[in-house]
Amino acid sequence: MTAAMDERLVELRGVTVSYQVGESRIDALRDVDLAVSTGEVVALRGRSGSGKTTVLHVMGGLVAPTSGAVEWDGRPFGTLDARARAGIRAQGIAYVFQGANLLPTLTTYENVAFAARLSDAPATFSPLELLQTVGLGHKADSLPGDLSGGEAQRVAIARATAQQPRALLCDEPTGHLDSDTGERVLDLIEALRQELGFTVVIATHDESVAARADRTVDLLDGRIVRNRALL
């Protein structure tokens, strides 16, 4: 067994996620096998509807599989009830979405502080330190509506980092940003990963984003069609 196999953080085995739409059954995922190791950067690629987001949601415990097994750090995860999955998320899983999804009535500082309180891990950085890390210490008292798209996404990254994640799950995090701002956001995620050592799984249709990963996983119609390391 390789070192990477010994360090598996999250694993999906034979995972299917199905939804009933009227009299039809729709398979969002079909018999997916995927393991991600500690510290790895994995890009999930595919067009809209390929299953990328559903993989992230299953990995993070937001969606329970219809069949198959999910393990987080060697512990069964997918068969737990929603409350138990939320408890495991609090121990080390954070999300960054396409939109920043900040709480609109809270300042940037309060958004980050609120996320820190949700984590079971002891705080390494204060909310202000995290805002300073993403270059927005001077915006601590600003409301999300006063931020640019790039600034809001940087606050979202600070908020995710406040949860002391072992895995950062990113769903098209640069999708609403121009190319220059998107590059800066990706640089920031990578700098934080290098410093803090968390795993990154990023869903994207952007080849330049995928090229930054250690490994790419291509999905089509809910199935993995290619899984390869990048040299």
CATH number, domain of 54, equals: 3.40.50.300
> What is the reported pLDDT for 3?
38
> What is the reported pLDDT for 36?
96
In a domain, 19, yes or no: no
In a domain, 185, yes or no: yes
pTM of the model as a whole: 0.89
> What is the reported pLDDT for 6?
53
Question: Long-range contacts: 128-136, Cβ < 8 Å, 24+?
Answer: 130/158, 130/161, 130/162, 131/155, 131/158, 133/158, 133/161, 133/192, 134/158, 134/188, 136/108
d(CA 96, CA 217): 19
Structure letter (DSSP) for residue 122: P
d(CA 193, CA 168): 9
In a domain, 47, yes or no: yes
- 204's CB contacts (< 8 A; 6+ apart) are 43, 44, 45, 52, 172, 174, 210
Sign of CA dihedral 43, 50, 54, 106: positive
Structure letter (DSSP) for residue 210: H
The residues pairing with 196 across neighbouring beta strands, listed in sequence order, are: none
Q: What is the pLDDT of residues 206-216, one digit of tens each?
A: 899 999 999 99
CB 222 within 8 A of CB 30: yes
In a domain, 108, yes or no: yes
Using CA atoms, how far residue 12 sits from 31, 72, 150, 176, in Å, is 9, 9, 33, 29
- The count of domains in the chain is 1
What parts of the chain have a pLDDT lower than 70? 1-6, 78, 120-122, 231
> What is the reported pLDDT for 51?
95
Q: Say which residue the tokens 């001077």 belong to.
A: 138
Amino acid identity at 177: L
In a domain, 74, yes or no: no
In a domain, 223, yes or no: no
In a domain, 120, yes or no: yes
In a domain, 138, yes or no: yes
Q: Say which residue the tokens 């309180």 belong to.
A: 117
d(CA 3, CA 144): 42
> What is the reported pLDDT for 212?
93
Could you tell me which of 108, 183, 176, 112 has the C-alpha nearest to residue 146?
108
Residue 119: strand, helix, or coil: coil
The boundaries of the domain holding residue 124 are 40-61+81-217
Given the DSSP bridges, would you call strands 75-76 and 24-37 parallel, antiparallel or unpaired?
Answer: unpaired
Q: What is the pLDDT of residues 175-187, one digit of tens each?
A: 888 888 889 889 9
